[in-house]
Amino acid sequence: MRFIFIVMLALYVLIDVYVFRVLRGTGRSFWPYVYLFVSAVIIGNLIVRFFVINDEGGRVLSVSKSYAIGFFISFIVFKVFFLLFFSSETLIRFFIGGYKRLFGSDEVFTMPDRRAFVKNMLLGIAAVPFASMLYGMYRGKYNYKVLSYTLEFDDLPEAFDGYTITQVSDIHCGSFDNKEKIQYGIDLINEQQSDVLLFTGDMVNNKADELDGWMDVFAGLYAKDGKYSVLGNHDYGDYVEWETEEQKVANLEDLKGRQKSMGFDLLLNENRFLEKDGQRIALVGVENWGGGHFKKAGDLQKAKQGVSKDDFKIVMSHDPTHWEEKVLPDEDHFHITLSGHTHGMQFGIEIPGWIKWSPSKWRYKHWAGIYESNGEFLNVNRGFGYLAFPGRVGIWPEVTVIKLKKKLV
């Protein structure tokens, strides 16, 4: 790990040397040194936060550590675009010089000088992604969006025609730093006045005590038919080096108790029935089950015990890989599966009807929004909070509202 860090630091310094030389070539004697100062502060803060200061109770991802990561990633983005644009421009000038030497009147090979206009244009373009990242840290992470869907089913009980579900996922309260903004998000959820509220995992980053100071906020979430939850991979405390296994177990039990005290009915591989006018639909709550190396505590067979094949079923399962690998192949028909987990990588471009892209698609086949297969639906919520990078760019925090409709024959 230390060797990898040293290599990355060396690359960081080499890139700084290149950027410094290019900036000096623009004729602005002051700005190259400003750049070096900012770069040194950012990498220094990252080193101090992760290797010197054990702040905020030793949390793996404290608020200050998240911001150190955020500024580092933002500056790396600037460096990458800077290198991309200026190295491409250098390559173009190299070929122009070679062409003039071979086919023109030049007796010796010389590269054309950079034009001032081109220099300034490339600098401006490289700064746009950097500014976007900073905006994502300042405002984007609280740019809550309500996404509404209407799903129709032949076998939906008539009593539930028009029934509304609000889904929230990936709160990650250990990352929060602005109670007023979070309260705005909670109020927005309550304004939907849905019949039931379903939370699909990752209440915390790692530890139950991250909820200190936030429990009253999330206790304010309300739906007339109740609010239900399942666990996500971060809720188990697997990413913390506990001194004893007993501490880890106690942390999970503490989280379960806190969810109960906030009014959530936590489903641990079990189910509940929502009843209305003598009819019912089933909520099937599965513990985290993720493809690859993620925790596989979920047991769909156990969770569906007592639910009949004819019941209308809604599965709550944090990781969307569970849908394709376990839910769809099951002999039972699960009408809707609600997941989260991906965050849409908190970065991407979405223009409804035009484009939907995020690096998350390289890791997850189903990474955001509604998917359908053989009459079974999956919704992957983009998440309410944020993790590691303390911001969102293009992939905004989401509140999902799903209306159930009886399909007309």
CA distance 190 to 153: 26
CA distance 122 to 66: 30
CA atoms within 13 A on the CB side of 181: 15
Q: What pLDDT, on a 0 to 100 scale, did the predictor assign at position 90?
A: 66
Burial label for 8, CB within 10 Å (0-12, 13-18, 19+), is exposed
CATH class of 143-406: alpha beta
CA distance 323 to 319: 8
| 314-357 tens-digit pLDDT | 999 999 999 999 999 999 999 999 999 999 999 999 988 899 99
Contact 290, 320 (CB under 8 A): no
| 69-109 tens-digit pLDDT | 999 999 888 888 888 877 776 676 666 666 666 666 665 55
| Domain positions in the chain | 2-138, 143-406
Torsion of CA 287, 288, 291, 296, to 10 degrees: -70
Task: Report residues of the chain scoring pLDDT below 70.
Answer: 1-2, 5, 25-28, 54-60, 89-90, 92-119, 409
| Residue indicated by tokens 């099937």 | 284
| 267-296 tens-digit pLDDT | 999 999 999 999 999 999 999 999 988 999
Residues constituting the chain: 409
| Residue indicated by tokens 């690859």 | 292
